[in-house]
A and B are shown apart, each in its own frame.
Chain A
Amino acid sequence: MDNRQKEINNLKDYKYGFSTDIENIQAPKGLNEDVIKFISNIKKEPEWMLEFRLKAFERFKVLKEPDWQKPKFPKIDYQDLYYYSAPKSMKDKPKSLDELDPKLLETYKKLGIPLQEQARLNGIAVDAVFDSVSVATTFKDELTKQGIIFCPISEAIQNHPQLVKKYLGSVIPTSDHFFATLNSAVFTDGSFVYIPEGIRCPMELSTYFRINASNTGQFERTLIIADKGSYVSYLEGCTAPMRDENQLHAANVELIALDDAEIKYSTVQNWYPGDKDGKGGIYNFVTKRGLCKGKNSKISWTQVETGSAITWKYPSCILKGDNSVGEFYSIAITNNHQKADTGTKMIHLGKNTKSKIISKGISAGSSDMTYRGLVDISSKAKNSTNYTQCDSLLMGNKCGAHTVPYIKNKNSESNIAHEATTSKISEEQLHYCQQRGLNPEEAVGLIVNGFCKEVLQQLPMEFAVEAQKLVGISLEGSVG
């Protein structure tokens, strides 16, 4: 009885904490060439793709897990993970939403993503990812009319090999760092987006991620290409069921913007952060990198990070084209025993390039948060500017907030400005709000939302509302 009650309580803590029973096809445990061949085979991949994977694996074998990050974690046994699992009922792909496994549909309902309704009402094309295989892609027709390709990357490999071959690994090469290389070797699925020349994508593209089978490292690969003069806004939102064991998530996201193109990439991440004592939770080690390849291109990252036991990611922009623009807006909230080491890299290579970094960190409970960022203006990047602002808010005396910016300026005609502050919510502000009838929790919520406003404003409407609520929920119980 006691145990049962405990379980229920645990479930109550995490709104999205449940897992569905669907039989999985799994690759044998461990990581070796056979497993990579198994993945490649089951995905019916062409020869060049397998070569790509094996090349990455060769490199992976000589790499060592990095250890310079602030949050330390127990050593991961990479041979003790499953690198592929897919719901069994997926073997014969459904043609429409109605053919989907009713259990799957129910899972989405619990998550608050009723596919049909949401797609119809919001005009969002949803490419839902259940574990590692894309289940359904909606609104395909409308996108196809415009020539936009939005599909699982495994499909793109088969149907658009020339595009994938040209761009996959062009921003995050197979010779990159440890986790990126691991992803290149074993990635299972993800999204592929191609916006043709001069097209403005008529709707927000969105993917919901879910990690389901236990012991499965999830390795997503996303590739977005915006051709000349195009525009796309892409949304990524995540929730994961409750698990005791830590789960590794090492995704790679590559963005490529050609001349005059713009990509807006927004993330709301709310994976299972572990329980109040820091047990369990997701390891979120993601490599996100955007290349402003063409002139006047723009890449903008917006992220709201509230989940995961450890978040370790630096969405970056390489500003190669002249006049290109990179932006990074981030809110990171850690509570209980969560840890985050996040920030961005802005690498200015072209002339007249501009970048802006706004980072807001909030740590509560016994959590630990680090902003780590790099602004590098190379000697050729004439007349470039960067503005960085990173503010941290501390709640309680057991948490930590750190700022580690690296600033390199090699060009005398370029300007860099950096500001950072760390403080707590002032008694005056709290008092003022309470005087006007708010209880302490509401007052803190209001102040924190104000603190984050600059970033929340950057999110698309649908996300902004969800994110604002999430900010409040994440800090529940941290006041007083």
Chain B
Amino acid sequence: MKEQLQKDFDNSIKNLSLSQKDIEIKKFCLENFIDKGFPNKKEEDWKFSDLNQIIKNNIGELSFYNDQTSTNKVDTSVFVDGLEHNKIVFINGRIEKIDFEYEKKDQIEIIDQSETINEFKNSNSLSDLNNAFTNKCFKILVKKGYQLTKPLIIYHTTNSKIWSKNINLRLNFELDKDSSLRLIDLFNDTSEKNFLNIFYNFELKENAVLKNYKVDRFENKNIKYSFNNIDQDKNSISETFILSSGSNFSKNEINCNLNGVYASAFVNGVFSLNNDKHHEIRSIINHLTENTKSYQLIKSVLDESSKAVYQGKIFVNSDAQKTDGYQLSKAILLNKESEFNAKPELEIYADDVKCSHGSASGSLNEDSIFYLMSRGLSYQQSRELLINGFLLDVVEKITDSEIKNLIKNMIGIKE
């Protein structure tokens, strides 16, 4: 793999106009990655999902160079109907379109930040990989007091032109004081056997509101890793919703730093898996100052030989008195072969806090099925009704009603 990395790196550097210093940084990151390799189960954070092994078994040899000189045609049929929205379109890892047609032009700034900055706390070798190979990096700045009128949808599209490739993406967002952004990530893959490595960095200033919805629902054979770093100032709110379903393997990491008082973070997730899929959500909420709040709810329905992992951590600093932290994960195992692993963790250094977590996993309740069947439903109908209700609970947590309905329609959950 080392030669391949080196060769692909030289190729990708060649096409970029980078300063000597930037090249040095990228080289440094590459060496770090070569040194550490893909994370494996010996690392505590990857205990339940051995990425190194998964890539080996599903992809085999990866190549890292993406020729991004020619443009891809944007397929408008993937766009969401019936909801006016702003767009960013990625095709095979290349930014094809940034379009804020519904917003005031002077309130949003798009800054080209292609120089690599490695600011991620909690980083792993994948952030080095990302740093070494991302060639375009934009920062989207929402200016003071501006609230986007329409949501922004980022389309992550891959097509059959690429296979066995590693795609690295990076986006930075800054939400200035009193601003707000609704962001939907939609994954649409018709490619096979690629490894997507996505890093987002969010900076929320005072009173800013971020709502991020990640929807991965189309069947595909890709492997995805996504890392969100969220820094939150006073009174800011972040809401993250993850629908984890389509890809062969997917790991979503949320690292949230509550730096300002009265900041709050919400992480909600749904796993709906079948067919040997293996998905993970790992969240780390760092309560760093007093009067901060976090709430997490993760629900899984696992069929066939699928596997879901939830690792959630609530960290409370000794200054973070009056913290309120809550975490709940529930799983229904539908098949003998399915598996659910959880590691809900609390690390607490302050005494005046309210922190709790709960985790439960098991089969569908036979008594409930019996109840429904005795009222005339078939076994299959009862099962579906129960699963529907189980998942609806999480979807109902979405605070934006427009998007809530959109997501309900997408996954066919009825009220």
Contact = CB atoms under 8 A, between A and B. Distances in A.
Interface of A: 68, 379, 392, 394-424
Contact of A416 (B353, B355, B359): B359
Contacts of B211: none
Nearest to B360: A417
B349 A400 contact: yes
A400 B353 CA distance: 12
Given A407-B341, A407-B343, A422-B356, A400 B335 contact: no
Q: Most chain-B CB neighbours within 10 Å: which of A404, A412, A413?
A: A412
A394 B353 CA distance: 9
Given A379-B336, A397-B321, A421-B356, A415 B351 contact: no
Interface string B359-387: 11111000000000000000000000000
A287 B345 CA distance: 23
A397 B336 contact: no
Contacts of A396: 351
Contacts, number: 114
Contacts of A397: 318, 321, 349-352
15 contacts: A68-B44, A379-B336, A397-B352, A399-B349, A405-B342, A409-B339, A409-B340, A410-B339, A411-B336, A412-B334, A412-B363, A416-B362, A421-B356, A423-B354, A424-B352
A419 B356 CA distance: 7
B44 A392 contact: no
A416 B300 CA distance: 14
B355 A405 contact: no
B338 interface: yes
Nearest to A412: B333
Nearest to A368: B349
Nearest to B44: A68
B397 interface: no
B411 to A, nearest CB: 22
Residue among A409, A415, A418 having the largest count of chain B Cβ atoms under 10 Å: A409
A448 to B, nearest CB: 14
Given A415-B363, A416-B359, A417-B360, A401 B348 contact: yes
Nearest to A423: B354
A214 B152 CA distance: 69
* Interface SS of chain B: strand
Given A411-B336, A412-B335, A414-B362, A399 B351 contact: yes
A476 to B, nearest CB: 18
Nearest to B302: A412
Contacts of B321: 397
A407 B351 contact: no
Interface residues of B, number: 35
B85 to A, nearest CB: 39
A334 B358 CA distance: 24
B333 A420 contact: no
B356 A407 contact: no
Closest 3 CB pairs of A and B: A415-B362, A412-B333, A394-B351
Nearest to B347: A402
A420 B318 CA distance: 20
A401 B356 CA distance: 12
A90 B133 CA distance: 72
A265 to B, nearest CB: 27
Given A412-B336, A415-B362, A416-B360, A405 B343 contact: yes
Contacts of A398: 318
Contacts of B335: 412
Nearest to A388: B359
A441 to B, nearest CB: 17
Nearest to B313: A404
A408 B338 CA distance: 11
B357 interface: yes
A474 B174 CA distance: 50
A407 B318 contact: no
Contacts of B348: 392, 394, 400-402, 422
B344 interface: yes
Given A397-B351, A424-B352, A419 B358 contact: yes
Given A399-B349, A400-B349, 13 more contacts: A68-B44, A396-B351, A397-B349, A400-B348, A402-B347, A404-B345, A405-B345, A406-B343, A410-B339, A412-B335, A415-B360, A415-B363, A420-B346
Which of B333, B351, B352 has the most chain A CB atoms inside 10 A of its CB? Answer: B351
A414 B338 CA distance: 12
Given A398-B318, A409-B331, A412-B338, A420 B356 contact: yes
Contacts of B349: 397, 399-400
B359 A418 contact: yes
Contacts of B331: 409
A381 B367 CA distance: 22
Interface centre among A400, A405, A422 (most CB of B within 10 A): A422
B355 A422 contact: yes
B196 to A, nearest CB: 27
